[in-house]
Amino acid sequence: MKRQCRKLCVGIGGESIRFLNLRIAGQIVSGTKMKDRYIVVDTDGATLMCAWAPTRLQLGGPKILGLGTGGDIEAGRTAAEESREILLELFKKEAESMKEMCLYAGLHGGTALGATPVICALAKSAGLQTTLNVVTDGNELTEKENRILAEWRNLVDELDIIMEENRLQKAEKILCTP
């Protein structure tokens, strides 16, 4: 019998990985049983090393070399496209035991901005109901960020904005310090 999880949580890029680290750490510290399944994806191998999610996938091929996108949105999109088959297979497998996927992405960085539309489309094609949780730093959104959100709203069933202010930077120091 397969273990029934509530939902699949997928972090895309460094900002969302730090956010999910906080969520996972909170469950560990409180002794709460983890009911959700966590997967994180990024182009930066060092960021993935700090991830607490049990499943980590490095996006991209030889061009990226695990060094991240350097803020290049097109490189993030290309990296997700190059990993398309692996992602789709993973999502289809997860769709056998759950129907809801919560994606997490920030509004900065090449991986999050480039890979999010690709990953949202793959999740939908796997038959998963999708909620995109956009992690922001708590500042007022710029015109560019509002344009991105308007585009992303059309890719998912639901879009939520999570204001995190400075908690992400503080948590990263705690969670990624050797």
pTM of the model: 0.85
* 56-65, 68-77, 124-133: segment of lowest average pLDDT: 56-65
Say what the pLDDT of residue 2 is: 44
Fold of 8-175: Rossmann fold (3.40.50)
Q: Amino acid identity, residue 2?
A: K
**Is pLDDT of 128 > 70?**
yes
Q: Using CA atoms, how far apart are residues 7 and 84, in angstroms rounded to an integer? A: 21
Domain residue ranges of the chain, discontinuous segments joined by +: 8-175
Residues 140-171 pLDDT 10s: 888 988 999 999 999 999 999 888 765 555 55
Smallest CA-to-CA distance from 114 within 41, 25, 9, 177 is with 41
